[in-house]
Amino acid sequence: MPLTIATAVTPVGAPILDDPVTIEDMARAQGSTIPAGSTVVGITVPIIRSDQTGLQYRTRNNGTEFQFNTGTLRLTLRQEIHLSQALSSCAQSIWLNHELKHVRDNEQLMARMDRELRADQEFADILVTPSEWRARDRFNETQRTIQEIVGDVFERLTSAAAAHQDSAQEYRSTERQIRIRCGLAVARRLQLGMYGQGIDIVQLALNNHPPSLLPRLLVDGIFGPITKVRVQEFQRNQHLEPDGIVGPDTRRALGL
């Protein structure tokens, strides 16, 4: 009886709200590629588990050697969506739609796991067409190797899909939706010392309006000194009074 690879997908739960720094750290740890000038405010974390309890093996030499020969390897996908808690509820809903595209991509990739795993030579040598007999004391090590191969193959697929989805065009489209649909969520006058009230939307818009000689803003919903300096730079570039206050003229120039 040949090897069977069965896949399952766990429904994704409600998004987890994290602080902006945590979101950026998660993106870096996952190797996410963010288009230049954009800000990462959400991330989807796919987690794949392999259940090897359905695999069967045979032994020889009084049980001192083993070889997998049949059974079922069960793969289960679980996903977490993380969003910045600094985003307004309006902006969160729009970014959630973007992250759900990653969710759907990852779910579709599960259908490719059977073919991709069988094409991996080390995996095939262990489970598909085993020829080597392994020492019984290497059983746990072999199980870990199977898990690592599953993880590596899935990471390769998901990373490529995420890079394709996180294009500059997709980010511009998402950020444009926020400016259009969430503009009314921005207070009429924003200045140093304020928080909330759509400051996150202003920060996203500023990050999306190069050129700038300054680092991109952390989208944290707080109008601090760094945000004020970035507003002043933008105002000078737009030939507005550089007072660092986001009023009607600055909002209009930002498209809000």
pLDDT-derived band at 54 (thresholds 50, 70, 90) equals very high
**What pLDDT does 85 receive?**
84
Is 207's pLDDT higher than 90?
no
Is 153's pLDDT higher than 80?
yes
Q: 3-state DSSP helix/strand/coil percent for the chain, to nearest 5?
A: 50, 20, 30
Is 1's pLDDT higher than 70?
no
Domain with CATH 1.10.101.10 in the chain: 186-254
User: pTM to 2 decimals?
Assistant: 0.79
Q: How far apart are CA 204 and CA 64, in angstroms?
A: 62
Task: Answer for the pair 99, 39: CB distance below 8 angstroms, yes or no.
Answer: no
Domain 186-254, CATH among 3.50.50.60, 1.10.357.10, 3.40.190.10, 1.10.101.10: 1.10.101.10
Which residues, 6+ apart, have CB-to-CB distance to 72 below 8 Å?
A: 3, 4, 5, 6, 54, 55
**pLDDT tens digits, 59-114:** 999 999 999 999 999 999 999 999 988 788 888 888 999 999 999 999 999 999 99
Placement of tokens 């896949």 in the chain: 7
The CB density around residue 19, as the number of other CB atoms within 10 Å, is 13
Which residues, 6+ apart, have CB-to-CB distance to 142 below 8 Å?
A: 68, 126, 134
**pLDDT tens digits, 214-245:** 888 888 888 889 999 999 999 999 999 999 99
Within its chain, how far is the Cα of 139 from the centroid?
34
Q: How far apart are CA 76 and CA 73, in angstroms?
A: 10
Q: Looking at 52-158, which runs of residues are DSSP E strands?
A: 55-60, 65-84, 134-135
**What pLDDT does 231 receive?**
95
Is 146's pLDDT higher than 90?
yes
For residue 225, say if its preceding peptide bond is cis, omega within 30 degrees of 0: no
